[in-house]
Amino acid sequence: MRLLLVEDDIMVASGIKLGLADAGYAVDWVGSGERAEEVLQRESFDVAIVDIGLPGMDGLELTRRLRRPEMASHDMPVLILTARDALHDRVQGLDLGADDYMVKPFELPELLARLRALLRRSQAATTAVLAFGPLELDTANRRVGIRQEADGSLQPIELGPREWTVLEYLLVHAPKPASKDKLLQALTGWDKEITPNAVEVYVSRLRGKLEPHGVSLRSIRGFGYRLELQQP
């Protein structure tokens, strides 16, 4: 994954770079909005992290510019970093086309999780494949399976249409938990007279099929379910 980091604070930038490189990202770092715009005209990235408080052109202006239709980066996910966490800034950041924001100082694992979520969303929008760990769900070809670490092949899993609906919904929202009510709503497309118990039935069937492959479906008390990777 190629990532563009736009940050003027050397300490923050080198920390992020170090952490992200370790997580497998190829990080390009520039210290100003003007430089970022230049780089973006020549090269393309999978995702960008933009600090708001940049010298010269600020992060919000940069986000606005890289969203222009003629830019190749117009559909690139952007995560904004800000030391200003007033409500005003938050709303403005998202209005101008940022996909997510984080307030400095932040915890690196959370930044990584947000980046993964951003990438999954943009991936799903373009490739129609939803992935979670080794689990992959191809919405275009209606195939679901486990990607094998050894040879890279996909070991298919057989799912009924309602199980598919539940898994798709869970995958779209992972790693956030999905509420039982929402799952029920997703299922009512199939059955008009569906009961809350039905969700439990499909979840337990999915568990039987996924848990042998290291993907678990955890119940969240009072709320719903969440896809989790079993710790080895």
Partner 1 sequence: MTSDLRNRLLVMLVLPLCLLALIGVWLDYRSADEAAARHDQRLLRLLPALADSVLAPGADPQEQPVWLLAPPVEDFLRSSPGYSGFSVRDLSGRLVLGDDWVHGAVPATHEPEFHSVEVGGITYRVAVQRGRTGAGEMVVALADGSDPRQRWARHLLLRVLLPNLILVAAAALAIHWAVGRAFKPLVDLAAAVERRSPRDLSAIDEAASPSEVRPLVHSLNQLFSLVNAQAESQRRFVADAAHQLRTPLAGLQAQVEAWALLARSGVKTADRAPGSERKSTPGHDRKAVSAITLGAVEIEKLRDATRRTSQLAHQLLALSRADARSLDAQAMQRVDLQDLCESLLGLYLDAATGKGIDLGLDAQPVHVSGHDWLLRELLSNLVDNAIKYTPAGGSVTIRCGTGADAGGAVRAFLQVEDDGPGVPPAEYARVLQRFYRVPGTEGEGTGLGLPIADEIARAHGTTLTLERGANGRGLRVTLVFPA
Which letter does DSSP use for residue 72 in this model?
G
Nearest approach, Cβ of 94 to partner 1 (angstroms)? 13
- Between CA 156 and CA 167, with CA 139 as vertex, the angle to 5 degrees is 70
Closest CA to 31 of 1, 63, 55, 62: 55
**Binding mask 64-93 vs partner 1 (x if CB under 8 A, - otherwise)?**
-------------------x-xxx--x---
Among residues 30 and 54, whose Cβ is nearest to partner 1?
A: 30
From candidates 55, 56, 109, 212, binder to partner 1 by CB under 8 A = 109
CA separation for the pair 25, 147 (Å, rounded): 21
Nearest approach, Cβ of 15 to partner 1 (angstroms)? 3
**Cβ 80 vs Cβ 98: under 8 Å:** yes
**Largest Cα span, the chain:** 59
Among residues 29 and 202, whose Cβ is nearest to partner 1?
A: 29
> Which range binds partner 1 by CB under 8 A, 4-12, 59-67, 138-146, 148-156?
4-12
Among residues 46 and 138, whose Cβ is nearest to partner 1?
A: 46
18: left (phi over 0), alpha (psi -120 to 50) or beta: alpha
Which residues in 184-223 contact partner 1 (CB under 8 A)?
218, 220-223
CA separation for the pair 63, 51 (Å, rounded): 10
In which residue are the tokens 């039982």 written? 180
Which residues in 15-74 contact partner 1 (CB under 8 A)?
15-19, 21-23, 26, 28-31
Q: Give the binding site for partner 1 (CB under 8 A).
A: 9-19, 21-23, 26, 28-31, 83, 85-87, 90, 103-109, 113, 175-177, 179, 218, 220-223, 226, 228
